[in-house]
Amino acid sequence: MRIAIVGGGVAGLSALWELNKYSDHDVHIYEKADWWGGHAHTVQFQRPGKEKCDIDTAFIAINEKNYPNFYKFLVDSGIELIKTTMSFSLSRDRGKFEWASNDLWALFCQRSNFFKPRVYRMMWDILRFNLFAIDFLLENGEAEGLSIGEYLDREGYSQAFKEDYLLPLTAGIWSIPPEKVALDFPAMALIRFFHNHQMLQLWGKPSWLTIKGGSTHTDQAVQLLGSDISREEKDLLGNCNWSANQCVVHYDENLMPIRKKAWTAWNYLTSTSYIHPSHESKTSASEVSSISM
């Protein structure tokens, strides 16, 4: 049988690899972009005076439990994996407020955090969310339509928890503006993702891996299927929303937290004026809600 695979992303390449390895089919793969791998896209980067290195600009990390097939594909392909972290930090107004999730020292990397009730309220709400958010998955009816912002308001979570932790963390993971997270992101989908990735666990979190040294979107699939698409396929694929993002490989320490103890895998920079437009801030436009990884 002659088989055509449309799209040379991870899914397409994996399908090609499996079919070539375990069948006698004549398989052809088609990709319109000028690179293979889709979101698993590695670029070569060189900082002046330093050696070249490979940087992944989209796909960042996996773990064996949540991505067993992709993990097996990489291992069987002889691709070397190394341990990494998925730590998070937030820096607001050029370091006026900073914290990081590495450990207690990183949480209090800014000594004034010891004396801020807002920090302790955020910590309390993180514990509360991790313990009780899973109960929301058991709800029915109106729960399906709640945004994460509506859920947090309903449950009485603090502004500190929203603005300094959950909304920027979620915006960083999915690369969408934090205000769209609060207004549009379904609470059920977010909490289920956190639960599936053991992000609600206080201990026993998975070990994250990344490739040493460094798929077709649903909206494209709808266009490719054209008039052959079934109603079920259209309903399923058509309900997925996408946002365009620009990714820049850089070594600009101005786009990192001021305190190096706050440097993590995901560094979220924002400003008070971005969260509360009525407040003034000295943060430049380029620093408003930028993420350095």
pLDDT at 157: 97
Q: What mean pLDDT, rounded, does the chain reach?
A: 80
| Greater model confidence, 51 or 224 | 51
**How many angstroms separate the CA atoms of 168 and 87, rounded?**
13
Give residue 43's pLDDT.
76
pLDDT at 152: 94
- What percentage of the chain carries pLDDT values higher than 90? 24
pLDDT value at residue 282: 39
Average pLDDT over residues 152-179: 88
* pLDDT grade for 21, boundaries at 50, 70 and 90: confident
Instruction: Give bridge partners of residue 99 from the DSSP assignment.
Output: 90
pLDDT the model gives residue 144: 76
Whether the per-residue pLDDT at 51 is higher than 60: the answer is yes
How far apart CA 152 and CA 146 sit, in angstroms, is 10
Between 51-65, 80-94, 184-198, 271-285, the lowest mean confidence (pLDDT) is in 271-285
Question: What is the CA angle 216-218-219, rounded to 5?
Answer: 105
Q: 117 falls in which pLDDT band (50, 70, 90)?
A: very high
Arithmetic mean of pLDDT, 204-221: 66
Q: Specify the pTM.
A: 0.67
Q: What's the confidence (pLDDT) of residue 238? A: 67
Cα separation of 184 and 11, whole Å? 28
* Cβ 165 vs Cβ 126: under 8 Å: yes
The answer for residues whose C-beta is within 8 angstroms of residue 65's C-beta and 6 or more apart is 198, 206
- The pLDDT tens digits for 68-86 are 888 888 888 888 888 888 8
Asked whether the predicted pLDDT for residue 220 surpasses 50, the reply is yes
Q: Which amino acid is located at 111 in the chain?
A: R
| Tokens 């290195």, located at residue | 53
So what's the pLDDT on residue 284? 37
Query: Which is more confident, 124 or 59?
Result: 124
- Cα–Cα dist 166/149, whole Å: 10
* DSSP H stretches of helix in the chain: 10-22, 68-76, 104-107, 117-132, 148-154, 159-161, 167-174, 178-184, 187-196, 218-225, 231-238, 272-275
Which pLDDT does position 108 carry in this prediction? 93
